[in-house]
Amino acid sequence: MRIQLKNLMGLDGTPTFAQTFGITFDNSVQWAEQGLELARDGKLDEARVILEGLVTLNPRSPAYWHALGCVYQQQELFDDAIQAFDQATTRDRQNVDAWLRLGTVKLKKGDRDGLVALKQVLDDTRAGSAEYVARARAILASVKH
């Protein structure tokens, strides 16, 4: 992964970089919106820089990890995407999109642990998860057991 997790502040209970230097939540949200807009416009390198910065500032945010994973996935940086989606799902166990993407990318890399991630999606019974469950079922049906 481009960002070395061991170098991120805040992973051991110490203040994050953002907390240490007084970067506000509103600042982070503005930067995230800018990064997502760049990604939507296909400016993935620029989006990646912003999102990598955001996970450095606040490594505890599942949303930033998820967004970064999506950019890595679009850039076919699959190892990086796996690590980012893993961070997102560790911090938010109910993020079915991150679980679906984690499973998909792992299977694309030939890692059968992707099946475990997809089964996590199938276990989600919330009404808003129906589309993700259907997609996970379709992927699982196409995988040779």
Question: What's the CA gap between 18 and 30, in Å, rounded?
Answer: 14
pLDDT of residue 74: 96
Q: Residues 33, 50: one domain?
A: yes
Q: Residues 71, 10: one domain?
A: yes
pLDDT of residue 12: 56
For the chain, the domain total comes to: 2
Question: What's the CA gap between 84 and 69, in Å, rounded?
Answer: 5
Q: Residues 123, 136: one domain?
A: yes
Q: Residues 87, 110: one domain?
A: no
Q: How confident is the model at residue 85 (pLDDT cuts 50, 70, 90)?
A: very high
Longest dimension (CA), the chain: 51
For residue 26, the domain's CATH number is 1.25.40.10
Question: What's the CA gap between 91 and 40, in Å, rounded?
Answer: 25
Average pLDDT over residues 49-61: 90
pLDDT of residue 145: 60
Rounded to the nearest integer, the mean pLDDT of the chain is 87
69, 92, 115 - which closes a domain: 92
pLDDT of residue 48: 96
pLDDT of residue 8: 41
Q: Residues 1, 59: one domain?
A: yes
Residue 3 has pLDDT above 90, yes or no: no
Domain span holding position 54: 1-92
Q: How confident is the model at residue 71 (pLDDT cuts 50, 70, 90)?
A: very high
Average pLDDT over residues 8-26: 64
- CA angle in degrees (0–180, nearest 5) for 38-43-46: 75
